[in-house]
């Protein structure tokens, strides 16, 4: 039995379908009941055909000219919106027509999106420069891109086992595929002989899941041989660079050694010449007995100079292992100061001052005394034996540690900038009798104490040295 009209209306409303009668003479639509919401803006005072999208008007006109039932899809203007509708047309016995309109805009939109996505995927698969394939849940080829076809041949419906491949390759792919089918993400690097040449591949097989279930495998196989080759080339040039650098360092070391040998030879030849001269004069008997003590003094002085050079050189080059134990700095500084004034014969003309104190510093007594004596000696020599030399000891709170700070000031002539730049290099000297080793020794010893040495010098205003040494806990 047919449902009563009211029930039919409710049913149609539930389906979101709009049912209308089309008057053939006027072409106007009359709703057969309440219309669904999506037809709200429909202009019922205009003929139906005028509301149909212009491109679809010919086919709709044709459909309306035939009798019987038919369904067609076309565009429809509802207010300012162009929707896509599926219209079923039925002729009634009274000569009018009933139209049932259903909105299919969203479905059509989805279908178009799917088509676009599919086309995009196919293009991507075809143009990707590496092998790309999909296996079904039995490990059979479902899809291959042209690169994969070129590599494995057309494999649709077959497993790796059935392909014409070397056994080792087959086994490797089968193993990876079965691990991926078990849900594992497989990624590995393999090398194969391709056309007699070894090539490297980065293989990856990933499970394709539908929810929790693995329904297939997505395989990607990239030829990374060029990458590997450039990596090897890079490694090769790096090791070449290292070798060149080593050779350079060695050459520099030899150059430094050569320079040192030349300076030492020069320094030794001068006193040796004076000694040889004095001896020769005495041997030839051309020296009066009263002049002889003078010659003996030359010999003694020059011998002392040679001895000093050898001692300085040894201090500089000999690798010393320091024994550091916490001691106060002040007695050490006092000793070094006294010793310097005495050896430089400057006790009367140079006034000295030693003030302040600092906590004990881990130090090697002999080595650090030698370093400070070098700084004091330089100051006394710079002041030409007369002036003021002050030494201040204090504590400095650094960011990470405490320092004992020794500040040494002289009233000498200061240093020109060309000397300043190379001051710590061995054999840099401006003194006729200097070896240029003093400051090289100072820096070496201070660094062995994990300390720092800095200076400030203004020509005409004297020089200030600051030595910082870490205070022991
Ligand atoms: N307090 C200072 N005032 C001015 N110039 C200085 C001072 N200390 C060092 N110099 C300069 O630095 C140079 C290098 O000093 P360094 O102690 O290394 O060698 P040197 O004193 O010339 O020789 P050596 O110490 O080997 O006998 C000195 O020749 C001098 O020109
Ligand atoms: Mg010196």
Q: Which pLDDT does position 1 carry in this prediction?
A: 46
CATH number for the domain running over 243-314: 1.10.287
**Ligand number, closest to the Cα atom of 410:** 1
Indicate the CATH number for domain 128-223.
3.30.450.20
pTM of the predicted structure, to 2 decimals = 0.49
Residue 371 Cα, ligand 1 centroid: separation in angstroms?
13
Sign of the four-CA dihedral 346, 347, 351, 354: positive
Share of the chain above pLDDT 70, in %: 96
Q: What is the per-residue pLDDT across 11-63, written as a single tens digit (0 to 9) for each?
A: 766 778 999 999 888 999 999 888 999 999 999 999 999 999 999 999 999 98
Q: What is the pLDDT of residue 13?
A: 67
State yes or no: pLDDT of 3 exceeds 60.
Answer: no
**How many angstroms does the Cα of residue 394 sit away from the middle of ligand 1?**
25
The pLDDT of residue 5 is 60
Summarised one tens digit per residue, pLDDT across range 82-103 is 999 999 998 766 667 889 999 9
Is pLDDT of 362 > 60? yes
- Residue corresponding to tokens 């038919």: 70
CATH 3.30.360.10 fits 5-110, yes or no: no
Asked if domains 243-314 and 319-470 share a fold, the reply is no
CATH classification for the domain delimited by 319-470, as one of 2.60.40.1890, 3.30.420.40, 3.90.1150.10, 3.30.565.10? 3.30.565.10
Residue of 410, 436, 464 to mutate, ligand 1, most atoms within 8 A of C-beta: 436
Distance 378 CA to ligand 1 centre (A): 5
Residue extents of the structural domains in the chain? 5-110, 128-223, 243-314, 319-470
Higher pLDDT: 446 or 433? It is 446
- Give the pLDDT score at 312: 78
Averaged pLDDT, 445-460: 93
Residues 6 or more apart whose CB falls under 8 angstroms from that of 121 comprise none
Q: How confident is the model at residue 341 (pLDDT cuts 50, 70, 90)?
A: very high
Query: What count of other Cβ atoms lies within 10 Å of the Cβ of residue 336?
Result: 21
Q: Give the three-class secondary structure for 415.
A: coil
For residue 440, the ligand 1 atom closest to its alpha carbon is 18
State the first-to-last Cα distance of the chain, in angstroms, to the nearest integer: 105
Question: Are 352 and 391 within 8 A, CB to CB?
Answer: yes
Tell me the C-alpha to C-alpha distance, in Å, between residue 384 and each of 346, 387, 441, 455.
9, 8, 22, 20
What's the CA gap between 315 and 311, in Å, rounded? Answer: 6
Ligand whose nearest atom lies closest to the CA of 425: 1
Cα 306 to ligand 1 centre (Å): 19
Which protein residues touch ligand 1 with a CB less than 6 Å away?
312, 374, 378-379, 382, 410, 412, 415, 419, 423, 428-431, 434-439, 463
Q: How confident is the model at residue 268 (pLDDT cuts 50, 70, 90)?
A: confident
């Amino acid at each position: 039995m047919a449902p009563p009209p009211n029930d039919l209306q409710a049913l149609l409303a539930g389906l979101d379908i709009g049912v209308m009668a089309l008057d053939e003479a006027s072409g106007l639509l009359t709703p057969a009941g309440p219309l669904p919401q999506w037809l709200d803006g429909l202009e019922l005072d205009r003929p139906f055909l005028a509301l149909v999208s212009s491109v679809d008007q010919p086919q709709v006109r044709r459909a309306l000219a035939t009798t019987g039932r038919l369904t067609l899809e076309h565009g429809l203007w509802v207010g300012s919106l162009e929707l896509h509708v599926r219209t079923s047309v039925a002729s009634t016995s009274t000569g009018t027509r009933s139209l049932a309109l259903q909105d299919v805009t969203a479905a059509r939109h989805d279908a178009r999106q799917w088509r676009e996505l599919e086309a995009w995927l196919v293009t991507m698969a075809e143009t990707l420069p590496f092998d790309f394939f999909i296996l079904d849940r039995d490990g059979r080829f479902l899809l291959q891109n042209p690169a994969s076809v070129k590599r494995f041949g057309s494999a649709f419906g077959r497993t790796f086992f059935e392909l014409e491949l070397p056994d080792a390759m087959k086994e490797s792919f089968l193993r990876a595929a079965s691990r991926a089918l078990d849900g594992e993400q497989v990624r590995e690097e393999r090398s194969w002989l391709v056309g007699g040449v070894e090539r490297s591949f980065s293989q990856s097989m990933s499970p394709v899941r539908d929810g929790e279930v693995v329904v297939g495998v997505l395989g990607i196989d990239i030829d990374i041989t060029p990458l590997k080759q450039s990596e090897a080339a890079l490694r090769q040039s790096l090791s070449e660079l290292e070798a060149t650098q080593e050779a350079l360092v060695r050459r520099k070391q030899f150059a430094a050694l050569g320079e040192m040998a030349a300076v030492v030879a020069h320094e030794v030849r001068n006193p040796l010449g004076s000694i040889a001269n004095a001896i020769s004069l005495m041997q030839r008997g051309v020296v009066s007995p009263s002049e002889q003590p003078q010659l003996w003094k030359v010999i003694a002085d020059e011998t002392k100079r040679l001895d000093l050079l050898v001692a300085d050189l040894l201090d500089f080059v000999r690798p010393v292992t320091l024994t550091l134990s916490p001691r106060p700095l002040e007695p050490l500084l006092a000793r070094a100061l006294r010793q310097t004034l005495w050896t430089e014969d400057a006790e009367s003309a140079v006034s000295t001052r030693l003030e302040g104190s600092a906590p004990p510093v881990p130090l090697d007594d002999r080595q650090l005394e030698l370093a400070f004596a070098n700084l004091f000696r330089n100051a006394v020599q710079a002041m030409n034996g007369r002036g003021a030399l002050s030494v201040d000891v204090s504590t400095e709170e650094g960011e990470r540690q405490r320092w004992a700070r020794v500040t040494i000031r002289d009233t000498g002539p200061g240093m020109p900038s060309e000397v300043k730049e190379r001051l710590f290099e061995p054999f840099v000297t401006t003194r006729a009798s200097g070896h240029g080793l003093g400051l090289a020794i100072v820096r070496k010893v201070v660094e062995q104490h994990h300390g720092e040495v800095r200076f400030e010098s203004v020509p005409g205003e004297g020089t200030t040295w600051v030595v910082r040494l870490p205070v022991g806990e």
